[in-house]
Amino acid sequence: MANASDTILTVENMSVEFPTLSGITSAVRNVSFSIGREKVGIIGESGSGKSTTGRAIMRLQPPKAIVKADRMQFEDVDLLKASEDEMLAIRGRRIAMILQDPKYSLNPVMTVGEQISETVILHERVSPREARERTLAMLGRVNIRDPERVFDLYPHEVSGGMGQRIMISMMLIASPSLIIADEPTSALDVTVRQQVLSILDELVIERNIGLLFISHDLNLVRSFCDRVIIMYAGRVVETIAAADLDQAKHPYTRGLLNALPSLNHPRDRLDVLQRDPAWLEN
Ligand SMILES: Nc1ncnc2c1ncn2[C@@H]1O[C@H](COP(=O)(O)OP(=O)(O)O)[C@@H](O)[C@H]1O
Ligand SMILES: [Mg+2]
């Protein structure tokens, strides 16, 4: 677990509400966690508030959303007080986000190479010619075999796995200290998923940074992350080292573990998750 000097992000008692026509939706309630130089997973079923949590850190909520917290501290930045201009300087540079479909994060009317070069020029103030060389090197660094060809492709022409590697190559240039990855491999085939995960893993270790990895796949998070935050109905029910998941105490976590199919202990049918209204009490 991270010690204090290694803490990159601290969130204390964060809640997010959305006013809707039928009343107020409480998407996230009193969530607290911190992230150091480690891989932290957020796991929970659809609608449990994982994406809302990630977006609230980036301050990318719709304007009507109500975000409250006792503390949201990213390095030397108080995220509760930062101006929109300050947030513009933080997003993408100091906190980067990878989403499920890279097509939404890449600019559709610019080639892959132009986009990466633009990031290189912005961060390293080099000539366009040098930026091209650096871009080709970055594409090679994320195991793209034919960088010259990929340089001239538009986002709609690249596969999902290649798109995620392009997003990661931009992070190599921007050098953020926190990456929020929201289901970054959920749309990928198993073999491609493994490649993207190992490149992401190398990036986190090589740069000694923090990763918040949002997923609904407990098996994946268990093998990939150092710690796991388990969310249920907008709340954090348990935070536990991935290696200790077998000793998880909360009945919801136990239910998730029991619901996982196992090759070693095949069963005719999987357990149905039992829910207890008491989990919703604070
Ligand atoms: N813009 C929004 N307006 C209203 N409700 C929202 C909005 N975004 C998310 N929600 C609600 O917040 C809850 C949590 O959603 P979300 O964070 O996307 O869950 P997850 O990522 O775990 O699937 C859900 O009930 C969802 O319907
Ligand atoms: Mg989500």
Residue-wise pLDDT for 26-59, tens only, equals: 999 999 999 999 999 999 999 999 999 999 999 9
Tally of domains within the chain: 2
247-252, Cβ contacts within 8 angstroms, sequence gap of 24 or more: 250/279, 251/276, 251/279, 252/279
- Tell me: do 51 and 142 sit in the same domain: no
SS3 216: coil
CA distance 157 to 150: 9
188 and 130 both lie in a single domain: no
Residue range 190-195: mean pLDDT, rounded: 92
pLDDT above 90 for 271: no
Kindly report, residue by residue over 239-260, the tens digit of the pLDDT.
999 999 999 999 999 988 887 7
pLDDT at 267: 62
Residue 2 confidence (pLDDT) above 90:
no
pLDDT of residue 235 exceeding 70, the answer is: yes
Cβ of residue 52 lying under 6 Å from some atom of ligand 1: yes
Helix %, strand %, coil % of the chain (to 5): 40, 25, 35
Domain that holds residue 9: 4-94+178-280
Does 11 have pLDDT greater than 50?
yes
Mean pLDDT over 178-183 rounds to: 96
22-57 burial, b at 16+ Cβ within 10 Å, e below that, comes to eeeebbbbbbebbbbbbbbbbbbeeebbbbbbbbbb
> Measured in angstroms, how far is the CA atom of residue 78 from the centroid of ligand 1?
24
Q: Are residues 157 and 183 in the same domain?
A: no
Q: Whose CA is nearest to atom 18 of ligand 1?
A: 51
Ligand nearest to the CA of 43: 1
- Which pLDDT belongs to residue 278? 81
Assess whether 130 and 74 both reside in one domain. no
Rounded average pLDDT over 127-142: 94
Residue 265 inside a domain? The answer is yes
Domain boundary at 152, 175, 198, which? 175
Tally the C-alpha atoms within 13 A of residue 72's C-alpha that lie toward its C-beta. Answer: 20
- Boundary of a domain, candidates 126, 151, 175: 175
Comparing 143-152, 215-224, 238-247, 253-262, which segment has the lowest mean pLDDT? 253-262
> Which residue, 129, 157, 175, sits at the end of a domain?
175
Segment 79-86 mean pLDDT: 96
126-155 in b/e form (b: 16+ CB < 10 A) is: eeeeebbebbbebbebbebeebeebbeebb
Q: Are residues 80 and 195 in the same domain?
A: yes
Judged by average pLDDT, the poorest of 71-75, 174-178, 208-212, 274-278 is 274-278
Same domain, 147 and 213: no
pLDDT at 198: 94
Using a 6 Å cutoff on CB, does residue 47 contact ligand 1? Answer: yes
pLDDT at 9: 98
Please tell me which residue, 104 or 12, carries the higher pLDDT value.
12
Same domain assignment for residues 209 and 156: no
For residue 104, the model assigns a pLDDT of 81
* Mutational test site, ligand 1, from 14, 18, 217, max ligand atoms within 8 Å of CB: 18
Q: What percent of the chain has pLDDT over 90?
A: 79
User: What's 43's domain CATH number?
Assistant: 3.40.50.300
**Residue 265 binned pLDDT confidence (cut-offs 50, 70, 90):** low
